[in-house]
Amino acid sequence: MRDTARTGTSIRGKLMADWAPQYSKAERIRLLLFHAAWAVPLFLLTEFFFFPWFERYVETAHCHHYGSLNGLALVLYSLFIGLPLGLALILLAIEGRHSFRVLRLGQSPPPDEKVFRPARYVYGHRARIKPLLFFLLVLFLCGLSVQGFFWADAMIDTLSPDVSRCLGQALQDA
């Protein structure tokens, strides 16, 4: 390896400095197992408990009252407002700090951050494109959530639920 006269570093060292450090195979497997340990049970609970319960609940949602809202309004507001807003908050929790750091430093990936596959360091405006698109997506989801209020409100006014289901529910409860 030949040393350069000015910097005193080898050519190989200079070329390797352009690439971000990678996770080792053991670290990748450990991360995969860690995330599978919470994602698989969450998927199974959602698929086999939440979705069947939600399907049964929606059939008689208009029969339930929660303060000034009935269950149907609560379902519609949750779907049209809560879903996009919840997704925006989850995305911010997962990727927000990383994207903000890339925006601030103007370097992607940030220094001392490991990557899964070989990635060259990108600097300046090119590094800031993905974080800006990410924050635009979050802003879009927040706007969709605001618009969802008006969509849900209009939908609630046009729906006329079947009240006979409520009578059947009341007779079963008695």
Rounded distance, CA 4 to CA 104, Å? 32
pLDDT in tens, 109-144: 998 899 999 999 999 999 999 999 999 999 999 999
Minimal CA–CA distance to 77: which of 163, 145, 159?
A: 145
For the chain, domain boundaries: 11-163
Contact 126, 116 (CB under 8 A): no
Q: Which residues of 137-172 are buried (b: 16+ CB within 10 A; e: fewer)?
A: ebeebeebbeebeeebeeebeeeeeeeeeeeeeeee
Using DSSP's 3-state secondary structure scheme, residue 115 falls into strand
* pTM of the complete model: 0.78
Rounded distance, CA 173 to CA 97, Å? 50
pLDDT in tens, 5-62: 454 454 444 555 789 999 999 999 999 999 999 999 999 999 999 999 999 999 888 8
